[in-house]
Amino acid sequence: MTAKSIDCEQARTLLRDEQLGRLPDAQSASVQEHLRSCAECARVDAEERVLSELLEAHLPPAAAPELLRERLSAQLATPSKPSRRRRAPLIAGSLSAVALLAAAWLLWPRGAIDPQDPLLREAVNDHLRVLYAQHPIEIDSGGIHQVKPWFTGRLDFAPDLAFSGDDEFPMVGGAVGYVIDRKAATMVFKRRLHTISLFVFRSERLDWPASGARAIGSVQAQVGEVDGFHVVLWRRAGLGHALVSDASTDELLHLARKIIETR
C-alpha cells in the first residue's frame, strides 16, 4: 500500500488519532510516512506520547471508595459462630466503619460533582494537556470568526460558539482535542495569569453528572473541582461543554454566562 503524502498541518491534526489507533490503515500509513521524513513532527509526536503517559499517571482512578465499601461489607458480615470474646470487637469495628461512612456522607460538599466522576476528571486531564503541551494552540485567535471556520473539516460537528473573548477573558486560540472517545473543539482563554480551556464535543452516549447543578440563563450547568482545578459542564443542542481552569468557580461561571448568552 502506497502512503498518500500529507503536510505537517494535516499530520499534526491526525497525531492523536494515530496514537489512539483510530485511523484507517491508509491514513495511519500516511502519518507514519510523514513522521519518518519530518523530524519536527516526529518530535511533536514523541512529546505528545510522553505527555499522555504523564497525564494518565497524574489523575489515576482512585480506589479508596471501593476499598472502603469492601472493608465495610467484610466488617458487617456475620461470622458463622462468633465467640463471646470476639463479638464485642467485631461490633465495635462495624460501628466504626458505619460511622466513618456516615461522616464521609455528611461532610461531602452538597451541590458539587463527585470528584471521581469520569467526565469531570477527563475535563481536568484535557486541560492539563493544554497547559503542558509544547504546541497547545493550532490556530491563533483573531476572534471567533477566524477560529471557528478553522475547525471545518477537522471535526464532525460545528462548535456552537459565538463569544470572541473580551478584555476580561481574551481568547488565545484553538485546537482539536479529545474528550474521552471523541474529538473536541478546544478554545483557550485567559483570565489574568490563569489559562482557561473550553472543550466542545458531542454529548451523546456520555454519562452526565447529575449533581452540582447551577442555572445559567436557560441552561443547567454542573460545577465540580479536582485537585484545585474548577470545572463547569453544560449541554446544549446535542453538544457538551467543559470549561476548566484554576481560576475561581465564580470567574468560570461568569465566563460560562458570556459564552452561553452570546448568540
Query: Does residue 179 carry a pLDDT above 90?
Result: yes
SS3 of residue 262 by DSSP: coil
CATH number of 118-261: 3.30.200.100
Residues 160, 202 contacting (CB under 8 angstroms): no
Taking alpha carbons only, the member of 130, 147, 135, 257 closest to residue 196 is 130
Burial of 85 (0-12, 13-18, 19+ CB in 10 A): exposed
Q: Using the structure block, give the residue that is written with the C-alpha cell 459564552.
A: 259
User: Tell me, what's the pLDDT at 110?
Assistant: 45
Residue 15 has φ and ψ, to the nearest 5°, of -60, -45
Within the chain, residue ranges assigned H as helices are: 8-19, 25-37, 39-58, 64-76, 84-107, 118-132, 144-150, 249-261
Per-residue pLDDT of 113-133, as tens digits, reads: 898 999 999 999 999 999 988
∠ CA(110), CA(124), CA(240), 5° rounding?
Answer: 80
Pairwise CA distance, residues 111 & 102, whole Å: 18
What average pLDDT is seen over the chain? 81
CB–CB of 154/186 below 8 Å?
no
pLDDT of residue 165: 95
CB 176, CB 151: distance < 8 Å: yes
pLDDT tens column, 35-90: 888 988 888 788 777 777 766 665 544 434 444 444 444 544 444 444 444 444 43
Distance, in Å, from the CA atom of 110 to the CA atom of 235, rounded to the nearest integer, reads 21
Domain parsing of the chain, residue ranges: 8-58, 64-76+85-107, 118-261
> How does pLDDT run across 221-256, given as a tens digit for each residue?
999 999 999 999 999 999 999 999 999 999 999 999
| pLDDT computed for residue 208 by the predictor | 93
> How far apart are the C-alpha atoms of 177 and 16, rounded to whole Å?
8
d(CA 223, CA 249): 8
pTM higher than 0.75 for the full model? no
Most confident of 16-20, 64-68, 140-144, 188-192: 188-192
| pLDDT of 168 | 97
